[in-house]
Structure 1
């Protein structure tokens, strides 16, 4: 490791420990020495001067908290001595200057994608089976059982044989602790019938009826986002018939996103057809017809500008904001410089950086929409007895993210420095190249689900603690903020950016490595861990409070 500590921004009055620092140890930053008053775990921060109650704490150059009690110099900040605080925000002048990285190495590169008639390009080619209401989930499960293995999309459960060995050992009186799992990778049960179709995906959910009409409409908008998604060839939709999320609402949402929608779309309405066997017969036949059409689409070269990348984080730690997230920010700027689109979401995790982001909006209308969504979201949270300040999880806090503002300031680094071209309310679709802000919760599965519904055909997902999150139709590339995590959970992590903490490469070098990997994933040359592990997470956001 090159350094023991780092000060992220000149304005900061805390310093980050890059390794465990012992009590009484002397560390030096520039010309100043600090004798540590207590042990500082790696990823945590200590003060550079004596702090008094009410004094402001800055990190990443922004206000992130206020001292609740005296904090001596070289003492760790914690939930016991620091309270969340963030600056207010208002409409200011536009600040649209940004650092445009050198993309000469990539500007003429292409990826092998699936071209759609609306001009979009998929990084994968899936068929969807979608229930319009939770009442149809059981029928969807029957379809899954009927289709997956027979068409070659099933996988052998590597834990079945382990369970059988445990059972056999128990019956024969053996020692079950001596049984070891075969760690070989799961393989497909049969050869694929449709070589150009990556799979059939099932978007199970608990919505569509009950709740509010607004929830049903938002569900239809989200499902329309998936049906029109460039990674989707077509869909079979199962409707009961009487639910709030009517077929007419779904079709209206599809037309909003695709004026000349021409993908195969088969709608099966149970109450019109009657008997379950007739419903299943129709659904299987129509799905098979759709797969025949989907298999005709093949990968062809496409420019990098056709990538729409979702920027996500989950299970963050105190290194996320100084390794993985800034690396994604640089990738974001690279993609924008080449005409691509990126999505930054998780509005509760933009608390404290609202002024910077609103100033970066291309005009006052876009800035006003962002500030309005942030304000109303926080107000709804407070009305429910919560608030953005309650966002950090126990894991976040344990690993150095003491306040929501600290977490947010680091999370926002994923958005790079480019202007904000558009602000979207859930579940609106991305229509403009550049950096898009999408209103979602901080919950990583709800947010990833939403980013894909808005058009992300690749998701870059940073984590400092480890999370297996994936998505049914879009590859989710997992990046660790630290090397120890990458080694410990290598079965779910694709890329290590702990090399930045270790002093082995710069943020710019890591970003180039990430973009090269993204191009391979987009071309179908690399299978990310979430796809390999069958991690098909899909959670619909109901517009009640979710942080």
Structure 2
């Protein structure tokens, strides 16, 4: 049965409006009647009692703000009458127990994946072309133009066809009004032709703006990130273009590869332009070696693998006031299911864990992990503060408009993505996941930077929740888009894969949605379902320079 309001935690002193509420409209929750004193838009919150200046605002059972003005009983909380506040935290852990979910439905289930010699299993099979430095981006672009369509990976884009039609209309003397308003042929996307290598999902070209000119730590981090992609289970091999004089040296890349995969055996071709000579010679070698590598990659086929071989990245972007009560806790339950089955999950976006640090610390399996998490959080926030923009500046205008008034409110809901299982490891960017269970990875809240990092750490599928809508994807890992509300799901169904607005509407529980999501993940991992981001070629890739990024 659908409810109109929600009290998320017994200790909360504000309620969430699940639909627009009129001033004076009586609403009932768990036998108690509440009356908003003013119009409360859906996704926003109103006070249970009057709150004088200085009163603590509690949501999800934690401190999320402080009243800056007197707020009447039933009053809407806004950026004008409250400000961000969060509880301090200690490295010491409190007692924590975890009740595993029932995994009977998934026991013995498998997915069809690509088995690698290091024991990992991919959900895709890609070849990479990577520059060590931005100076090589043009050569990467030349290779992309030369290879994509002939190999059968290109598509006749909808808007190329539309533009062609409109240009012909202009040439024929059409008016501005005809160009603006006259219908064109139906939008379609057509494959260029059959793939030359049917067992290779694609060849991906990862250009970037780094590799030189920054601090040496940036170069080392970039090499670690690129090594994460080269050694990734979704990658069969790579072609790497180096200029030869950049800070991101090939030597560093090889060291980072060895850290992640000591017995690395994938085909890897590294070309140095300053050693090779002319551009023509470089590109000729790169073409030949890439095609030879694709021939080897094509020999790999999907085979059954246990669900313990799944590594799921947990991400959110374009969040709204429903994120923390529908999509995020739903994938949190998915996370707990996978952890119980021996798999791994990655919770990142450290600026969006502000206010729930103590909960994460309590869940750490030992003192070492707890202290590392505490150190990373304090150091990151201090650097942000030095730049004049602490974690409290994280919520975007879209977040605020849709009910996420403070960073602590946003964070308390964002943390729900990580479920309730123990934290087995805490990783700094761009370290690799090595332990089954819940892993915390230090990244910004920036959607693409964080998703890029999670995949580098080993995520072979990413679950991405959104309340406002975002097309974010990744070159080598499927990014499953999950809507927090049905309105978004219907409005932007070309980029959204799953709807959890059903939770808000009372049609299913968080647990039921979490199981449904895991079922979907298994199909995606097996290549049975192509997610929207893959279908649209949404290959977002942004390395994080360890400066301040929220």
- TM class, shorter-length: over 0.9
How far has the Cα of 1:183 moved from its partner?
A: 4.8
The residue aligned with 1:363 is: 366
1:396 aligns with 2:399: yes
2:3 and 2:276 map into 1 onto residues whose CA distance is: 68
Equivalent residue number for residue 449 of structure 2:
446
Secondary structure, aligned partner of 1:280: helix
| Residue in structure 2 matched with residue 123 of structure 1 by the alignment | 123
Using a 3 Å threshold, how does the CA distance of structure 1 residues 94 and 70 change in structure 2: closer, same or farther?
A: closer
- Kept in 2, the 8 Å contact 1:94–1:361? The answer is no
Contact 2:92/2:370 (8 A) holds in 1: no
Partner of 1:503: 506
Match for residue 469 of structure 1? 472
Kindly provide the CA deviation profile for residues 42-82 of structure 1, in whole angstroms up to 9, marking residues without a partner as x.
00000000001111000011100000010001011000001
The answer to whether the Cα contact below 8 Å between 2:93 and 2:370 also exists between their aligned partners in 1 is: no
Following superposition of structure 1 onto structure 2, how do residues 44-443 of structure 1 map, counting pairs within 5 Å?
44-171=44-171, 172-174=173-175, 175-443=178-446
| 5+ residue gaps, structure 2 | none
Does structure 2 conserve the Cα–Cα contact (< 8 Å) formed by 1:324 and 1:462?
yes
Deviation for aligned residue 1:181: 4.9
By how many angstroms is 1:157 displaced? Answer: 1.0
Deviations 1:151-207 (A, max 9, x none): 001111111121122223333224123433555442321210001000000111000
Q: Is the 8 A contact 1:162 1:180 kept in 2?
A: no
Deviation at 1:98, TM superposition (A): 1.1
Q: 1:521 aligns with which of 504, 514, 524?
A: 524
For the residue of structure 1 that corresponds to 2:376, the secondary structure is helix
Secondary structure in 2 matching 1:343: strand
| Distance apart, 1:518 and its partner CA | 0.2
CA contact (8 A) 2:313 2:463 kept: yes
Q: 1:529 Cα deviation (Å)?
A: 0.1
Cα offset, 1:24, TM superposition: 2.1
Q: Quote the Cα distance in structure 2 between the aligned partners of 1:181 and 1:458.
A: 37
Equivalent position of 1:25 in the other structure? 25
The alpha carbon displacement at 1:28 in A equals 2.2
Give me the whole-angstrom Cα distance separating, in 1, the residues matched to 2:411 and 2:334.
Answer: 19
Q: Residue deviations 1:319-345, cap 9 Å, x none?
A: 000000000100000000000000000
For residues 181 and 447 of structure 1, do their structure 2 counterparts lie closer, same or farther at Cα, with a shift above 3 Å needed? farther
Q: Report the Cα distance in structure 2 between the residues aligned to 1:416 and 1:98, rounded to whole angstroms.
A: 10
CA deviation vs aligned residue, 1:360-394 (integer Å, no higher than 9, x gap) = 00000000000000000000000001100000000
For the pair 1:42 / 2:45, whether they are aligned, the reply is no
- Say yes or no: does 1:545 pair with 2:531: no
Give 3-state SS (helix, strand or coil) of 2:537's partner. coil
Task: Kindly indicate whether the alpha-carbon contact (under 8 Å) linking 2:346 and 2:441 is maintained by their aligned counterparts in 1.
Answer: yes
Alignment RMSD (CA, Å): 1.0
- Where does structure 1 differ by over 4 angstroms across 4 or more consecutive aligned residues? 181-185
Seen in structure 2, the aligned counterparts of structure 1 residues 28 and 124 have a Cα distance that, compared at 3 Å, is: same
- Look up the match of 2:16: 16
State the 1:99 CA deviation: 2.2
CA contact 2:157–2:188 (8 Å) conserved in 1 = no
Q: Which runs of 5+ in 1 are unaligned?
A: none
Cα pair 2:323 2:467 within 8 Å, conserved: yes
- Using the alignment, how far apart are the partners of 1:126 and 1:186 within structure 2? 22
What TM-score does the superposition give when structure 1 sets the normalisation length?
0.99
Going from structure 1 to structure 2, the CA distance change for 1:193 and 1:310 (only over 3 Å counts) comes to: same
Q: What secondary structure, in the 3-state scheme, does the structure 2 residue paired with 1:105 have?
A: helix
1:321 aligns to what SS in structure 2? coil
Shift of 1:22: 1.1
Aligned length: 547
> Matched residue of 2:274: which SS?
helix
Tell me the SS of whatever aligns to 2:89.
coil
CA distance in 1, matches of 2:70, 2:484: 32
Return the alpha-carbon distance in structure 1 between the equivalents of residues 206 and 168 of structure 2: 37
Equivalent pair of 2:112/2:305 in contact (CA under 8 Å): yes
The alignment partner of 1:320 has SS state of: coil
